[in-house]
Chain A
């Protein structure tokens, strides 16, 4: 029998037991990491975005050191790859992809959406980013430059979208509620509900 033919549950249990027996990690630590992973969701990234929209110091920190900015809002980053944040601006739009596989800022956005790992998304994002995101309804005028961020190595990347106009008197919680997963990947931009 090869590893590929082994029952997954049994294999996982054996690896976990070995990790504990060898003192590499404990069952409690594994349980804690599973809980952290399950808690991570796009809502975490949305909180960071909303804080950056309302607090210039936090915005500066977020762009300088995304991991530190996440930790400031209580998001656990220990053992996670460093987080980089790239800022959309008038005339500049970022789109994140991992053409090699599925690098994704899970600590702040949770599990990637199913399409993020698809061959179609990964190949088209670098070749025809404008045509690709138009399928989400994001049609960028020609005078907006598109920077595709191919997440290939040890960083994980998140987009800081632009704050929608008409939200000047909104609270941070109201702002966080309109920021979606796709806005922080770059396939969409935050919109007010019609």
Chain B
């Protein structure tokens, strides 16, 4: 069951598990802590962060999240955006 509906504002957790040990993470560095908008749900997939280490990998809801591009890089053209697949456990309401 997806926790966020299309149009919901979300923030990517500003978390850096890389600093705590070996990881396999699909959430790009450049949007950690950034705010975006849910575009669509893409279904649920086994968590790759666990799959990569052969741990039990429960299904996680996956979302397509839209981020305005210029605020991320302080460059680019207003109106352009980036569409990224992000798992639910990386998102919090904004």
A: which residues have CB within 8 A of B?
A: 82, 84, 86, 99-100, 126-130, 142, 145-155
Contacts and interface: CB of A to CB of B under 8 A. Distances in A.
Query: What 8 A-B pairs are tightest by C-beta distance, nearest first?
Result: A153-B85, A154-B45, A146-B80, A153-B26, A150-B84, A148-B82, A152-B26, A127-B73
A81 to B, nearest CB: 9
B75 to A, nearest CB: 7
Interface of B: 26-28, 30, 42-43, 45, 48, 62, 66, 69, 72-73, 75-77, 79-87
B84 A152 contact: yes
Nearest to B72: A126
A95 to B, nearest CB: 10
B48 A150 contact: no
A126 B30 contact: yes
Given A130-B77, A147-B82, A147-B83, A153 B45 contact: yes
A86 B45 CA distance: 21
A154 B61 CA distance: 11
Contacts of B30: 99, 126
A147 B39 CA distance: 13
A154 B48 contact: yes
A127 B87 CA distance: 22
A146 B77 contact: yes
B70 to A, nearest CB: 10
A154 B28 contact: no
A150 B76 CA distance: 16
A136 B57 CA distance: 41
Contact of A152 (B43, B73, B81, B86): B86
Contacts of A100: 26, 28
Nearest to A86: B83
Contacts of B48: 153-154
B85 A148 contact: no
Contacts of B73: 126-128
Contact of A127 (B76, B83, B84): B76
A145 B42 contact: no
Given A82-B43, A100-B26, A127-B73, A152 B85 contact: yes
A145 B80 contact: yes
Contacts of A82: 42-43
